[in-house]
Amino acid sequence: MEPTKEEMALTGDRTYQNLDAAPAYAELKNAARVSLKDVLNPDRVAACQVGTSAGLQYNYAAKPVSDHILDLLQQLSEQQELIPKYWDILSGETMNPGENRKVLHHLTRGQLAADVLHNERNLRDFYAEQQRRIAGFAEQVHAGTILGSTGKPFDTVVQVGIGGSDLGPRAMYLALDTLLQNDPAYAGGTRSGTTGGRKMRAEFISNVDPDDAVAVLSRIDPETTLFILVSKSGTTQETLTNEAFVIDALAKSPAQGLKPRKHMICVTSETSPLAASDEYLDSFFIDDFIGGRYSSTSAVGGALLSLAFGPDIFAEFLAGAAEADTAAIEPDIRKNAALLDALIGVYERNVLELPATAVLPYSQALSRFPAHLQQLDMESNGKQVNRDGEPVAYPTGPVIFGEPGTNGQHSFYQLLHQGTDIVPLQFIGFTGCQGATDLQFQSSTSQAKLNANMVAQIAAFALGQSDSNPNKNFPGERPSSLLFADKLTPKVLGALLAHYENKVMFQGLVWNLNSFDQEGVQLGKVLTKQVLGGADMHPALAAFAKLMEI
Amino acid sequence: MEPTKEEMALTGDRTYQNLDAAPAYAELKNAARVSLKDVLNPDRVAACQVGTSAGLQYNYAAKPVSDHILDLLQQLSEQQELIPKYWDILSGETMNPGENRKVLHHLTRGQLAADVLHNERNLRDFYAEQQRRIAGFAEQVHAGTILGSTGKPFDTVVQVGIGGSDLGPRAMYLALDTLLQNDPAYAGGTRSGTTGGRKMRAEFISNVDPDDAVAVLSRIDPETTLFILVSKSGTTQETLTNEAFVIDALAKSPAQGLKPRKHMICVTSETSPLAASDEYLDSFFIDDFIGGRYSSTSAVGGALLSLAFGPDIFAEFLAGAAEADTAAIEPDIRKNAALLDALIGVYERNVLELPATAVLPYSQALSRFPAHLQQLDMESNGKQVNRDGEPVAYPTGPVIFGEPGTNGQHSFYQLLHQGTDIVPLQFIGFTGCQGATDLQFQSSTSQAKLNANMVAQIAAFALGQSDSNPNKNFPGERPSSLLFADKLTPKVLGALLAHYENKVMFQGLVWNLNSFDQEGVQLGKVLTKQVLGGADMHPALAAFAKLMEI
């Protein structure tokens, strides 16, 4: 039985222990291994599936888990108190202890636990208010009541940000762009209750490499472009530097007199230098409780997605994420896709000792989703000390990589099939495509070919194939899971995003990590300042700087 | 002393043995390990560097190798006969034994060994002839003597291909696009002997996902677009399917009467069904001796790059690759960057037992270069049997992943710095940027910031930093190399590409693999056909197909 909210709230005294202190972990190491060739059959395909939310299904039939292993993973979940700790996160406990912060990205898309107050402010209200302000702003831009310096409407939006201010919003934009442009249900106001369709083209500037800004700025018209400067701290080196490029491009535009304050908004924290500036048309806020890699559902993703696609599309996306958050409360791991995905991942990482995971979306729309997951997962759980700062004696977060299928099949799948290491796989697929056009060719549509390829790969990886020519021999026993839905809609995308956020959260809790800080990025920043400032530095660093003529 | 071509040609009787049969391998396992914190100093930074070609330098000061380890790697190179086997490849020996084929991508950009004849044809002449034909064709397109159906000049070129017909050409196009558009030395005919500048915008359709074709076709005008259909066999499912989308788009264009044969060329083998068709404006040829992942310097990359940038830019790119090929003949590993890079990689993979490698270009222009290397490396050396089909008892090709810096710093570097596993790193950088614009901001240019970040990372990874707060402690000892040059020009890009091709080749030879086949991609194709054809198939596969409603 799932405890009530009230029961959960009352059991706030949690035990934090390392994975290797959990009794189930030792049992898992001794549990009989599963041969996929032995167990994979249609009954298993039907049985090993759990709906997450928004129609998204998680199928783990091709994962090497038995009922006994699942029972032990259930025990592990309970011994590590994963659901109560998730409840603590939802309730606004200080779950980022290293930085003494709450972890509130779930609150940007709904409220599952009690009110979260900070300095007497209700933070759900704060996040919802930012979303409303953004919606109002975006509607004015779309209606042409907010115009550029020369009185022309904006047709392009450029996000200037890096890391979580770039990867998530970019991946989400690309995930919906084809749908919004092509699907008749979204395009051109034919959809009831919304004008639908893509409102503005989006571009992104992230890298401090000047060639990034130069290339992007060469393919937009500053006169009709709205720039969103995104930096929580307001001090991100790359983003402030790229702001200078934007200001330069506005000044040099043939359309004279373009004023930055008519073409730039910012998304930042209320206390940042950007928020204090009057150089922006408007400012929208996040706070310290939203980590960059978890900020797609906050104002960081909200401004960009609301401007590009309209506020109601962003609201649908949030609704999907909220559904996945709700689904993740379920304590029975066989009924909780994010929790189960997390635990199977831990089994693969710590018991089977597999150091990498590939994410393989059979959807061109998700072309940059693996890059977002790379940050989400590797920055959250790429840690070697636990939440109390003690070294852990087991592997934590894996290397995450991936590219869309079928492209990957013609690239790195060779190693996945026949390499010396086994890489666990996460397939993502959709029965239908996003665009309005599909063609029959040689008796099947492209979408059917796409999905036939995907399921064929699942079977090939799991089952392999013996061949008397060892070069053509496939060992099989290569595990994969499949996340799938009817179609990649805004709601499904929100659910997919939140599924992974919650998976990573649960894994961090199993490993007893603080998944919400990123101290590992600090040293490089310090040394960079030494190089640029000509300060005393390690002589080898000075020698490398000289090589690069800095 | 380097043997002469004649001496090399005479010593064709090679010994093929597994890595673990080489005496140096056991000695490497026993050799004292190197602490980067102990050894890294300015003298080492200056000493551990080798020029490759075209101004490209390989610095390995932050790699964990001692003189003793390098001596053993030199012995390993000799015991595995790497240079003589390279010479065999250059000489047209059958170095892809599984498919009974020569391996001749080097010959597409020059000739280092004796003539290679096949069926009485001189293959260097054949490749050069294709390059000349492409150059002539591209010049006619650029001059407006070849026009579209309605008499308008072509301004866009779309490559339709997948795997090696997509990843390499796409990465190379993106690598030069900003330079060609922005650098005054290339733009607008100011460069002596060339009209310079980007001639045509390029786009790419690869995935069988219909949304890929739909999205690309929605942002080009078929009336002024030339399509390149690329498939060596002429039977690639994805590419033929996407050809149907192209034909559909031509038929539906508002500019009526667009004829496919006026808008499509193909790059294929002479014996393919495409070559036999009269549906193409022209056809350019490759052959079975050019593997897809090695085809950027053949007609596969040549048609696209010559049309986009002009034949002389493509010729410069080839010249850079040829220089790197020449540099790779040197038997002294301390003077051969590709060979040394390969051997240090083997040391990291087999002695230090590190399963992944990250490629980190500090250049936005190289945004898709890691994706190309992923195919190049993982498809070549992701093998578990040796060239004779016997299982090997050691790890072979690693997982390859990467994103441009500084973006990656704000994403997965957390794990690289503080994760539980060590990931060897390959930095790539350039002292100057490609674009004409760079700005001073807070006392430094963006390019200086970019490179300061890069060298700071090298130092941070190698040296780490102790901190009493374990969460802020950096263990260091994380190895990296640095490939760098003044600027990413066509010539440097060619050298960079060939460096990696030769590195991967040498590693395959150390591991005693056939790096030039890819049998691991076959099983998925067979099972896909079963699904699409409704043939008898494994019942679990049928169950997965039903899930996806195929």
User: pLDDT tens, A265-313?
Assistant: 999 999 999 998 999 999 999 999 999 999 999 999 999 999 999 999 9
Q: Which residues share a beta bridge with B285?
A: B268
User: What is the structure's pLDDT at A293?
Assistant: 98
Enumerate the residues of chain A whose CB falls inside 8 A of the CB of residue B459: 527, 537-538, 540-541, 544
User: What is the structure's pLDDT at B264?
Assistant: 98
Enumerate the residues of chain A whose CB falls inside 8 A of the CB of residue B428: none
List, as ranges, residues 186-225 from B with C-beta within 8 Å of A. 206-215, 218
Report pLDDT digits (tens) over B265-323: 999 999 999 998 999 999 999 999 999 999 999 999 999 999 999 999 999 999 999 99
Q: Which of B48, B59, B410 to mutate to test the interface with A (most CBs of A within 10 A)?
A: B410
Report pLDDT digits (tens) over A15-40: 999 999 999 999 999 999 999 999 99
Strand, helix or coil at A396?
A: coil
Q: Is the pLDDT of residue A347 over 70?
A: yes
* Shortest alpha-carbon distance between residue A71 and chain B (Å): 24
User: What is the structure's pLDDT at A192?
Assistant: 38
Q: Is the pLDDT of residue A211 over 70?
A: yes
What is the arithmetic mean of pLDDT over A474-492?
Answer: 97
pLDDT band at A183 (very low <50, low <70, confident <90, very high): confident
Q: Is the pLDDT of residue A2 over 80?
A: no
What is the arithmetic mean of pLDDT over A414-420?
Answer: 98
Find, among B452, B367, B354, the residue nearest to B64 by Cα. Answer: B354
User: What is the structure's pLDDT at B192?
Assistant: 37
Q: Is the pLDDT of residue A1 over 70?
A: no
What does CATH list as the number for B117-318?
A: 3.40.50.10490
What is the arithmetic mean of pLDDT over B532-549?
Answer: 95
Q: Which residue among A223, A379, A403, A501 is the active-site one?
A: A379
Report pLDDT digits (tens) over B133-145: 999 999 999 999 9
- Give the residue numbers of B marked as catalytic: 379, 410, 525
pLDDT band at A52 (very low <50, low <70, confident <90, very high): confident
User: What is the structure's pLDDT at A435?
Assistant: 84
Enumerate the residues of chain B whose CB falls inside 8 A of the CB of residue A364: 207, 209, 211-212, 215
Among this protein's residues, is A449 annotated catalytic?
no
Find, among A392, A368, A397, the residue nearest to A380 by Cα. Answer: A397
User: What is the structure's pLDDT at A129?
Assistant: 98
Sequence-separated (6 or more) residues with CB below 8 Å from residue B489: B54, B179, B316, B320
Task: For residues B257 and B223, give the distance between their C-alpha atoms in angstroms, rounded to a whole number.
Answer: 9
List, as ranges, residues 308-347 from A with C-beta within 8 Å of B. none
Mean pLDDT (chain B, rounded): 95
Enumerate the residues of chain B whose CB falls inside 8 A of the CB of residue A465: 523
Domain B16-116+319-517 = CATH 3.30.70.1400: no
Find, among B439, B449, B464, B356, the residue nearest to B406 by Cα. Answer: B449
* Tokens of residue A336, six digits: 């909780």
Q: Is the pLDDT of residue B366 over 80?
A: yes
Question: What ipTM did this prediction achieve?
Answer: 0.96
C-alpha dist (Å) from residue B314 to A228, B109, B170: 38, 10, 14
Q: Report yes or no: A413 and A406 within 8 Å, Cβ to Cβ.
A: no
Report pLDDT digits (tens) over B313-328: 999 999 999 999 999 9
Q: Which residues of B168-206 are buried (b: 16+ CB within 10 A; e: fewer)?
A: bbbbbbbbbbbbbbbbeebbeeeeeebbbbbbbbbbbbb
Query: Any idea where the domains of chain A sit in the sequence?
Result: 5-93+328-517, 117-317, 519-550
**CB–CB contact A449 B237 (8 Å):** yes
Q: Is the pLDDT of residue A194 over 80?
A: no
List, as ranges, residues 116-145 from A with C-beta within 8 Å of B. none
For chain B, percent of residues with pLDDT exceeding 70: 96
C-alpha dist (Å) from residue B220 to A208, B178, B203, B294: 30, 20, 8, 29
Helix runs in B158-219, H state only = 167-182, 210-218
For chain A, percent of residues with pLDDT exceeding 90: 92
User: What is the structure's pLDDT at B435?
Assistant: 84
User: What is the structure's pLDDT at A182?
Assistant: 84
A454–chain B Cβ distance below 8 A for any pair: yes
**CB–CB contact A448 B397 (8 Å):** no
CATH topology agreement for domains B16-116+319-517 and B117-318 = yes
Q: Which residue has the higher pLDDT, A186 or B71?
A: B71
What is the arithmetic mean of pLDDT over A247-260?
Answer: 96
Sequence-separated (6 or more) residues with CB below 8 Å from residue B64: B33, B34, B35, B36, B348, B352, B477, B479
**CB–CB contact A456 B382 (8 Å):** no
Q: Is the pLDDT of residue B451 over 70?
A: yes
Mean pLDDT (chain A, rounded): 95
User: What is the structure's pLDDT at B197?
Assistant: 87
* Shortest alpha-carbon distance between residue B41 and chain A (Å): 5
User: What is the structure's pLDDT at A266?
Assistant: 97
User: What is the structure's pLDDT at B2?
Assistant: 54
Query: Considering only alpha carbons, which residue of chain B is nearest residue A444?
Result: B532
pLDDT band at B11 (very low <50, low <70, confident <90, very high): low
pLDDT band at A534 (very low <50, low <70, confident <90, very high): confident
B18–chain A Cβ distance below 8 A for any pair: no
User: What is the structure's pLDDT at A8?
Assistant: 57
pLDDT band at A414 (very low <50, low <70, confident <90, very high): very high
For chain B, percent of residues with pLDDT exceeding 90: 92
Q: Which residue has the higher pLDDT, A74 or B437?
A: A74
Report pLDDT digits (tens) over B221-268: 999 999 999 999 999 999 999 999 999 999 999 999 999 999 999 999
Q: Is the pLDDT of residue A437 over 90?
A: no
Q: Is the pLDDT of residue A487 over 90?
A: yes
**CB–CB contact B415 A454 (8 Å):** no
User: What is the structure's pLDDT at A434?
Assistant: 92
User: What is the structure's pLDDT at A12?
Assistant: 64
3.40.1160.10, 3.40.50.10490, 3.30.1160.10, 1.50.40.10: CATH of A5-93+328-517: 3.40.50.10490
Q: What is the 3-state secondary structure (H, E, C) of B130-174?
A: HHHHHHHHHHHHHHCCCCCCCCCCCCEEEEECCHHHCHHHHHHHH
Q: Report yes or no: A47 and A321 within 8 Å, Cβ to Cβ.
A: no
* Shortest alpha-carbon distance between residue B405 and chain A (Å): 7
What is the arithmetic mean of pLDDT over B435-456?
Answer: 94
Phi/psi at B124 (5° precision): -60, -40
For chain A, percent of residues with pLDDT exceeding 70: 96
Find, among B68, B64, B66, B81, the residue nearest to B11 by Cα. Answer: B81
Task: For residues A525 and A429, give the distance between their C-alpha atoms in angstroms, rounded to a whole number.
Answer: 39
CATH topology of domain A117-317: Rossmann fold (3.40.50)
Q: Report yes or no: B178 and B365 within 8 Å, Cβ to Cβ.
A: yes
* Residue A462 amino acid letter: A
